[in-house]
Amino acid sequence: MNIQSLLGLPDVLTVKKVVAVQPHPDDIEVNIAGTLLQLHRTGCEIVFVTVTDGRAGAWGDVQDADEIVRIRETERIEAGKLLGVHKHITLGFPDGGEYAVSDVTAKLVAVFREEKPDLVFSVDPWMPYEAHPDHVKVGQAVSQAVLFANNAILHPVVSAAPFQVPQIAFYATSYPNRFVELTEEDFQHKLNAILTHRSQFDNEMWPFIQQYFAVAAKEAYQVVHKDDSVSSEGYAEPLKVLSHLQLHSIPSTLYS
Ligand SMILES: [Zn+2]
């Protein structure tokens, strides 16, 4: 059963406004830059929400956490320009630090009510072996905010009225159900957007990391095309797209 079709929800590439939430300043580029490039070309409005300040992203000689935050802010804005981002929202939680999921959820409920997106992108907090607390906590907070943005009892109305987010698309997921295909040009553009985060990627590991991204994107493409009569190569970004109804008490969501 496809609940999205029953609800008449649009495909991820035909929505008009998205809010893309990331734990750290580079997660969006790494996982969904190609998808956002395609959405931008359709005229879709794109809002970035960056939950933590990225202060733990230390590489090389930079040891001053506040300087890392400043560098990563510049990189984030530069990367956003490459992807056609309309607006940046930062929540300023400490990268790798102590904060509660409920605090992030409350901030995101306000964002979703203000922005009224057709679809929200989030890191998947249920990816097995994900050890980074920011990814787990932020993914949980986004999911709970999608579930409760329309609930005025749990989250009393302060400014914007309750709003139902129709869909969520998880990236960095082990259970994809939608593969967004990328052209060679878009994949190269994605790599450029990732490399905009020079503090994280412009180092001796980049040749290996670049190769990993290419292999992973080619493997994702083959999931869809493995049975093609004529073999072909391409790139894809895996997503787990769910309606808001699938975020609570539906065991088959795992297999959706
Ligand atoms: Zn991250």
- Per-residue pLDDT band at 1 (split at 50, 70, 90): low
Least confident range from 59-68, 112-121, 236-245: namely: 59-68
User: Residue 230 Cα, ligand 1 centroid: separation in angstroms?
Assistant: 37
Report the DSSP pairing between strands 119-123 and 235-243. unpaired
Distance 127 CA to ligand 1 centre (A): 13
Average pLDDT over residues 114-138: 98
Average pLDDT over the chain reads: 95
Query: What's the 195 CA to ligand 1 centre distance in angstroms?
Result: 15
- In this predicted structure, the answer to whether residue 7 has a pLDDT above a threshold of 70 is yes
Helix (H) / strand (E) element for 29: namely helix 27-41
Task: Give the model confidence (pLDDT) of 156-170 as tens digits.
Answer: 987 899 999 999 999
- Distance from residue 231's CA to the centre of ligand 1 (Å): 34
Domain at 15-226+233-248, CATH class: alpha beta
Residue 58 has pLDDT above 90, yes or no: no
Domain boundaries, the chain: 15-226+233-248
pLDDT for the residue 178: 97
Q: What SS3 class is residue 184?
A: helix
Alpha helical stretches, state H, 125-250 = 133-148, 184-195, 198-201, 206-225
- 232 C-alpha to ligand 1 centroid (Å): 32
Is 60 a residue whose pLDDT tops 70? no
Residue 146: per-residue pLDDT: 98
Q: Residues 121, 180: contact at Cβ < 8 Å?
A: no
| Alpha-carbon span 111 to 94, nearest angstrom | 19
pLDDT of residue 99: 98
**Cα(43) to centroid(ligand 1), Å:** 27
Give tens-digit pLDDT for 84-122: 999 999 999 999 999 999 999 999 999 999 999 999 999
Measured CA to CA, the distance from residue 20 to residue 40 in angstroms comes to: 13
- At 89 the pLDDT is 98
CB of 222 within 8 A of CB of 231? no
Both tokens of residue 66?
């506040």
